[in-house]
Amino acid sequence: MQSLLEATQRDLLSALKAWPLWTMLGWNDIRQRYRRSTLGPFWITLSMAVFIGVLGLIYSRIFHVNVEVYLPFLTAGYVTWGFISQVINESCMAFQENERIIKQIRLPYGLYVLRTVWRNFIVFLHTIAIFVPVAVLFQVPAGFVDFLVIPGVILLLANLSWIGLMLAILATRYRDMQQMVVTVTQILMFATPIMWQASQLGGSYWIAEINPLYHFIELVRAPLLGNEPSLLSWSVAITALVVGWSLALILLNRAANRVVFWV
How far is C-alpha 59 from the geometric centre of its chain's CA atoms?
24
Confidence of residue 115 (pLDDT cuts 50, 70, 90): very high
State the residue range of the domain holding 169. 2-262
> Do the beta carbons of residue 225 and residue 73 sit within 8 Å?
yes
Q: Determine the average pLDDT of the residues in 163-187.
A: 94
User: Which residues, 6 or more positions from 223, have their beta carbon under 8 angstroms from its beta carbon?
Assistant: 145, 146, 147, 148, 149, 152, 229
Look at residue 42 in the predicted model and tell me its pLDDT. 73
Total tally of structural domains belonging to the chain:
1
pLDDT digits over 212-227, tens only? Answer: 999 999 999 999 999 9
Q: How far apart are CA 260 and CA 263, in angstroms?
A: 6
For the chain, the farthest-separated pair of C-alpha atoms sits apart, in whole angstroms, at 59
Helix (H) or strand (E) holding 252: helix 231-255
Identify residue 127 by its one-letter amino acid code: T
Positive or negative, the Cα torsion across 127, 210, 181, 159?
positive
**Mind giving me the DSSP string for 122-176?**
HHHHHHGGGHHHHHHHTT---SGGGGGHHHHHHHHHHHHHHHHHHHHHHHHH-TT
Of the given ranges (45-49, 71-75, 158-162, 198-202), which has the lowest mean pLDDT?
Answer: 198-202
Q: How far apart are CA 110 and CA 176, in angstroms?
A: 22
Q: How far apart are CA 217 and CA 211, in angstroms?
A: 10
Look at residue 6 in the predicted model and tell me its pLDDT. 61
**Residue 63, helix vs strand vs coil:** coil
Confidence of residue 29 (pLDDT cuts 50, 70, 90): confident
Which among 102, 142, 127 is positioned nearest to 52, based on CA atoms?
127
Look at residue 24 in the predicted model and tell me its pLDDT. 93
Q: Determine the average pLDDT of the residues in 239-248.
A: 94
Q: Over pLDDT 70: what percentage of the chain?
A: 94
**Residue 75, Cβ density class (10 Å: 0-12 exposed, 13-18 middle, ≥19 buried):** buried
Helix (H) or strand (E) holding 7: helix 2-17
Look at residue 203 in the predicted model and tell me its pLDDT. 73
Confidence of residue 37 (pLDDT cuts 50, 70, 90): low
> Do the beta carbons of residue 161 and residue 88 sit within 8 Å?
no
- Between helix 2-17 and helix 231-255 the angle, nearest 10°, is 110
